[in-house]
A and B are shown apart, each in its own frame.
Chain A
Amino acid sequence: MAYSNKVLDHYNNPRNVGSLDKGSTQVGTGVVGAPECGDVMKLQIQVEGDRIVDAKFKTFGCGSAIASSSLATEWIKGKTLDEALAIQNTQIVEELSLPPVKIHCSVLAEDAIKAAIHDYKSKNSAESATNEAAH
């Protein structure tokens, strides 16, 4: 199978590889996929106000899955949570020229963004709820 140059670039030089402190209230973590399916993405965001100031990923999966998650972290950095939520997998498909059999990789990346934001939001609404209760 031939890969697009952009996929190869992200595979060879993945952006934002790593982990953020998942215990921090400023950090949202999304883990999607399953080892049996051959792909697992972990995407993390660090949020200040409603803006994503940092993003990191680690991915177990094919080259397209690695590229999709690498691209996702690049795109969401600096965006507000709402802007990041608006990112769609079709944009990733287009940017990386993914063939039809690899579309699920882009879906997974979109899911990972949403899962990370969801985690951040639920963490903070729970926090604020506890804080309010304490007052």
Chain B
Amino acid sequence: MKLPIYLDHQATTPCDPRVVEAMLPYFTEHYGNAASRNHKYGWAAEEAVERSREQIAALLGANAKEIVFTSGSTESINLALKGAAEMYADKGKHIITCQAEHKAVLDVCKHLEQQGFEVTYLQPDKSGRVSLEQVAAALRPDTIVVALMWANNEVGTLNPIREIGALCHEKGVLLFTDATQAAGKIPVDVEADHVDMLCLSGHKIYGPKGVGVLYVRRKNPRVRLVAQMDGGGHERGMRSGTLNVPGIVGLGKACELARTELESEAKRSAELRDHLEKRIFSELDFVHLNGNREHRLPNNLNISFAFVEGESLLMGISDIAVSSGSACTSASLEPSHVLRSMDVGEDLAHSSIRFGVGRFTTREEVDFAADKVIAAVKRLRELSPLYEMAQEGIDLKTVKWQAASH
């Protein structure tokens, strides 16, 4: 067993060796520019790019012509939201999103607010989910885009995208969904799910970093975007810049693998995740599941260990690579905005750990992680004044705390 054990697959994934193998010839052998139309090197690169487009489209139920290559989801989000806002500003200036979205979406929305757009930030329920009714109530005649993530990156909660998509289409509003965590993990079908724009990143699905996609619907309705990167007019004018051919080849292969193995992989990772969850819940008290047991990514597990601070827990399980929603682990010194939006309580936000199992995770690794986590939580609770108070029957919510003089 290689230590530390990697259980942070929502942050990034290793490249699948089959992906690396597919990419290699495109660094040294077929190194042509996909835009070179007059020689064999260019043709080989272009052919590879078009094959990748087909592979990606197949995963999403899209047409290959609707795939725009970018550097990753952050860029795709910028292009989709800023591009649509600029294009449709005459129609309206209202955008709907959610407080639990990734910072890439929230920050783009903040930027658009400064440009005169109005943004409604829906508050998710305690499981991190937005309802169809909430979206319906927030829609206005001047709403141009609804931007909601398919799966949350911290708690793995799935939004009812199909229902929301149907509503948006009925009302003539564009639906953009950040599928960075969902694509390749759960079935995605842009037609049946009524999605107009969707983004994904290579490195979240065992592909390379630095490459991603924006799916842009071509009919019913035809989505038009104002380019955010000017230049040679690549990607139907929506994203200029020489194509990252090896990266694109890798992303295509990663999507093909994700599609063909989706069902078996979803089942396998859910079994591992459920095993980890069962062990933690049966061997520790005062643990809270963050997220939604029913509507959740198969490989995500987010747990708050009450009375134990997240960073100190990470220190105690240094043989496991995971993430915490604790303030102490973030540059901003604020606990996770996702958990805050879900209203789980600040104290529990400080105590949260996200486990993400992956394609190469084994049962042995999961058991090792469970042992370590359980032992570390027990040890830290022996050190915790809050655990002591809880055992004495003191309700921590009634205590008058003396914050430090900082």
Contact = CB atoms under 8 A, between A and B. Distances in A.
Contacts of B124: none
Contact of A33 (B326, B335, B383, B402): B402
A78 interface: no
Contacts, number: 94
Contact of B309 (A3, A31, A42, A62): A62
A17 B309 contact: no
Contacts of B346: 35-37
B141 interface: no
B404 A107 contact: yes
Nearest to B306: A35
A127 B363 CA distance: 61
Contacts of A115: 402
Given A38-B309, A38-B350, A60 B402 contact: no
A28 interface: no
Contact of B404 (A37, A62, A63): A37
Interface residues on B, range: 20 to 34
B315 A17 contact: no
Interface stretch (B73-81, B170-178, B384-392): B384-392
Contacts of B382: 17
A97 to B, nearest CB: 16
B23 interface: no
Given A11-B312, A32-B404, A35-B401, A59 B384 contact: yes
Given A17-B382, A34-B403, A38-B350, A62 B388 contact: no
A41 B385 contact: yes
B327 interface: yes
B327 A63 contact: no
A19 B388 contact: yes
A11 B311 CA distance: 12
A38 B187 CA distance: 38
B396 interface: yes
A37 B403 contact: yes
B304 to A, nearest CB: 12
Contacts of B404: 32-33, 37, 39, 104, 107-108, 111
A60 B388 CA distance: 11
Contacts of B402: 31-34, 111, 115
Given A35-B396, A107-B406, A62 B401 contact: no
Contacts of A60: 307-309, 383-387
B220 interface: no
A62 B328 contact: yes
Interface in A80-94: none
B333 interface: yes
Contacts of B327: 38
Contacts of A62: 309, 311-312, 315, 326, 328
A1 B308 CA distance: 19
Contacts of B387: 60
Contact of A42 (B335, B385, B406): B385
A134 interface: no
Contacts of A34: 401-403
Output the residue of B308, B388, B403 with the most chain A CB within 10 A: B403
Contacts of B403: 32-34, 37
A40 B328 contact: no
A101 interface: yes
B347 interface: yes
Contact of B384 (A8, A31, A32, A58): A58
Contacts of B316: 11
A66 interface: yes
B335 A40 contact: no
13 contacts: A1-B329, A11-B316, A34-B403, A40-B401, A41-B385, A59-B383, A59-B385, A60-B307, A61-B309, A61-B312, A62-B326, A63-B315, A104-B406
Top 6 A-B residue pairs of the complex, sorted by shortest distance between their CB atoms: A34-B401, A35-B347, A42-B385, A36-B346, A62-B311, A58-B385
Given A31-B402, A36-B346, A107-B406, 6 more contacts: A19-B388, A36-B350, A38-B350, A58-B385, A63-B311, A104-B404
